[in-house]
Amino acid sequence: MISTDTATLSLRPDRNLAMELVRATEAAAIRATPFIGRGDKNAADGAAVDAMRAFLGTVNFDGLVVIGEGEKDAAPMLYNGEHVGNGRGPACDIAVDPIDGTSLTAAGRQDALSVIAASDRGSMFDPSAVFYMNKLVCGPEGEGVVDISRPIGDNIRALAKAKGKEIEAMRIAVLDRPRHAQLIEEIRAAGAGTRLLLDGDVAGGINAARYDSRIDMCVGIGGTPEGIITACAVKALGGVIQGVLSPKDDQERDKAIAAGHDLDRVLHAGDLVKGDNTYFVATGVTHGELVDGVQRNGHLIRTESIVLRSKSGTIRRVVGDHLVEKWL
């Protein structure tokens, strides 16, 4: 007879799930490859969505898409609220981004990823009320040191001291957007350098949390869904993520307040995704600092992925060689 505790645990995502999910991100990255540098981000995204959805359908779990391609009417597959998987395994919340960096892919630039994050059912923050969030991400040295409510210069100086680095050696990642003009100016005025991101702030946030990265902090306003996905990775890396919801207009502000959100509240990793059983899986579409992009070498296609799990605190890199003939 199986105990209640054992039965409950068997219905939670286990270590095998991550290795199943990486098959889906590999497939999405491979299918997007023909569109790299072709200038058509929608075609690249469509190919990645089709491939990811097909592979997720074979996974032994009941995945509920909390963060996907949008509402059902606008997204025929991987829409918010869709159930994926074969339904015969653990119940999970999942966040999918078949290509984080569609513009990067279309332009042939670095740092495009195919991403899936997963956690126990009911554990992910609902991002539907407010699309944007002001975020700060860094490594574990920032725990109890940085505070998103303080000026960026203060945070740079505090983190530099905690890391034992000169301020001039600090590199701060931020999306290159008009809304960040003042922020970029303040970072440089503090004496730090910037790493301006054209797109893909998930990769920027994860690189900021990694111990061996050249990026020390990632800051600025980006998507709330990307913040939740990043939080799944940060929990495995032991880093810090802080966020404050940032409504884009009065209508969205009213919607957030009506939904019960405190727009002054600082959200931490545990608020964005509850519990200690989170997964983050990413496969490179184009080359980047986090992982290499898809490469074709003769009859083989090579992919590189990163697999993070918070419960075990493991960081795995998975290199796969795939026969080209199987993808024709």
| 179 labeled part of a ligand binding site | yes
Of 19, 36, 16, 24, nearest in space to 294 by CA: 36
| 97 labeled part of a ligand binding site | yes
Helix (H) or strand (E) run with residue 19 in it: helix 15-32
| 151 labeled part of a ligand binding site | no
Rounded CA gap, 22 and 281, in Å?
6
The residues, any chain, with a CB within 8 Å of residue 154's CB and separated by 6 or more, are: none
| 249 labeled part of a ligand binding site | no
Rounded CA gap, 319 and 296, in Å?
13
Burial of 128 (C-beta count, 10 Å sphere; 0-12/13-18/19+): middle
Collapsing DSSP states into helix, strand and coil, what is residue 176? coil
Check if the beta carbon of residue 135 is closer than 8 Å to that of residue 223.
no
| 304 labeled part of a ligand binding site | no
| 223 labeled part of a ligand binding site | yes
Check if the beta carbon of residue 193 is closer than 8 Å to that of residue 221.
no
Rg (CA), the chain: 19
Helix (H) or strand (E) run with residue 127 in it: none
| 286 labeled part of a ligand binding site | no
Q: Which residue has 């540098």 as its token pair?
A: 37
Q: At what angle do helices 201-209 and 224-237 cross, to 10 degrees?
A: 20
| 195 labeled part of a ligand binding site | no
Main-chain dihedrals φ then ψ at residue 105, nearest 5 degrees: -60, -50
Main-chain dihedrals φ then ψ at residue 138, nearest 5 degrees: -155, 180
| 45 labeled part of a ligand binding site | yes
Check if the beta carbon of residue 111 is closer than 8 Å to that of residue 104.
yes
| 46 labeled part of a ligand binding site | no
| 201 labeled part of a ligand binding site | yes
Rounded CA gap, 43 and 284, in Å?
18
Binding positions for substrate are 100-102, 132, 177-179, 199-201, 223
Binding positions are 45, 69, 97, 100-102, 132, 177-179, 199-201, 223, 226
Binding positions for Mn(2+) are 45, 69, 97, 100, 226
